[in-house]
Amino acid sequence: MRNTPELPTVAIDHVEDPVRSSPLAVFDEDRTLSGRRQDKARFDLSARPAAAGLEAEEISAWFGERKVLDRVSLSMPAGTVTALIGPSGCGKSTFLRILNRMHEMVPSASLAGSVRLDGQDIYDPQQRITAARRSIGMVFQKANPFPAMSIYENTIAGLKLSGIKATRAEKDFLVEDSLRKASLWDEVKDRLQQPGGGLSGGQQQRLCIARSLAVSPQVLLMDEPCSALDPTSTRRVEETIESLRGQVTVVIVTHNMQQAARVSDTCAFFLAAQNTPGVIVEHGDTDAMFHSPRDQRTSDYVNGRFG
């Protein structure tokens, strides 16, 4: 990966109204003393959206003049886990960042093609960037909790940034629920007010997953989330992915073939031949990709013969 920015998963673009675009907010009609109507945002757990399918169609990407992806199409069905595999530099992370509009944050970057979330083009000019980023969360290779913020506040940081009001009981519920889903609750339940930066690397990564889950994403993108973790932490993250199946659509970039085989339903093998942009050589059912690939290059890669 190159030096693209590592942002919190809940980056907010202040030009837009973050409350209006939040999937967790409902609006109560309220009247001020002068009789003027005003809407008040409040937290509503029942408003949590279901997993959504992602369809990438004919995606090409450039950094300056250099084309790094060429007409890549991939369907990521709702509630499934898709692994993106392939040698270094073939465009997996670039593709992942295109799925939640992070690629466009790199000044020289451009792209062509479309990404549809439940049929809606996230690049449609009518669509808000913040809405796309909130529905499509991201976890990075390097854990990035807010170090001085408590574990409790870290978990619900997205709620706060969205300006959504929640009662103490609702926040407590969300903190526990998100930390449980991220397989971290038992380890931190007695020290929720301690700083997130005081956790181990593996725990920090799971805290970041909990923070992403707390804003109820429909899709969770994970860019080599275990590459800096020990085997135990890796197993916990994989358990989390397993438990999210059906509830959230997960797309994970991994260099670990055993991990791809363990966690994913479908796999996409990316490859960039010398001086050419990355393409998907083969994609399909993970079992088939590992045991009876159609393309010799896929067979060579999954069996460790190159890359």
Ligand X SMILES: Nc1ncnc2c1ncn2[C@@H]1O[C@H](COP(=O)(O)OP(=O)(O)OP(=O)(O)O)[C@@H](O)[C@H]1O
Residues in region 90-149 near ligand X by CB under 6 A: 90-94, 106
- Under the criterion CB under 6 A, does residue 197 sit at the interface with ligand X? no
Q: How far is the CB of 68 from ligand X (least distance, A)?
A: 4
Q: How far is the CB of 210 from ligand X (least distance, A)?
A: 24
* Angle of CA points 23, 26, 30, to nearest 5°: 155
Number of residues that bind ligand X (CB under 6 A): 15
Q: Tell me whether residue 4 or residue 60 sits nearer to ligand X (CB atom).
A: 4
Q: Tell me whether residue 43 or residue 270 sits nearer to ligand X (CB atom).
A: 270
- Under the criterion CB under 6 A, does residue 89 sit at the interface with ligand X? yes
Q: How far is the CB of 296 from ligand X (least distance, A)?
A: 20
Q: How far is the CB of 29 from ligand X (least distance, A)?
A: 46
Q: Binding marks (x or -) toward ligand X, 47..86, rule CB under 6 A?
A: ----------------x----x-----------------x
Element containing residue 201 per DSSP (H, E): helix 201-214
Span from 2-10, 202-210, 236-244, 288-296 in contact with ligand X (CB under 6 A) = 2-10
User: Which residue has 């991939």 as its token pair?
Assistant: 74
Q: Tell me whether residue 92 or residue 134 sits nearer to ligand X (CB atom).
A: 92
Beta strand segments in the chain, E: 25-31, 37-43, 54-63, 66-76, 81-85, 109-117, 120-121, 136-139, 219-223, 249-253, 266-271, 279-285
Q: Tell me whether residue 106 or residue 192 sits nearer to ligand X (CB atom).
A: 106
Rounded CA separation 163/144 (Å): 21
Q: Tell me whether residue 63 or residue 185 sits nearer to ligand X (CB atom).
A: 63
Question: If DSSP codes are grouped into helix, strand and coil, which group holds residue 136?
Answer: strand
Q: Tell me whether residue 102 or residue 214 sits nearer to ligand X (CB atom).
A: 102
List the one residue out of 112, 94, 10, 139 whose CA is nearest residue 57. Answer: 112
List the one residue out of 251, 250, 246, 208 whose CA is nearest residue 229. Answer: 208
Q: Tell me whether residue 84 or residue 182 sits nearer to ligand X (CB atom).
A: 84
The 3-class secondary structure across 40-72, one letter per residue, is: EEEECHHHCCCCCCEEEEEEEEEECCEEEEEEE
- Under the criterion CB under 6 A, does residue 155 sit at the interface with ligand X? no
Beta carbons of 43 and 24 less than 8 angstroms apart: yes
Beta carbons of 169 and 132 less than 8 angstroms apart: no
Q: Binding marks (x or -) toward ligand X, 10..49, rule CB under 6 A?
A: ----------------------------------------
Rounded CA separation 70/134 (Å): 27
Residue ranges binding ligand X (CB under 6 A): 1-4, 63, 68, 86, 88-94, 106
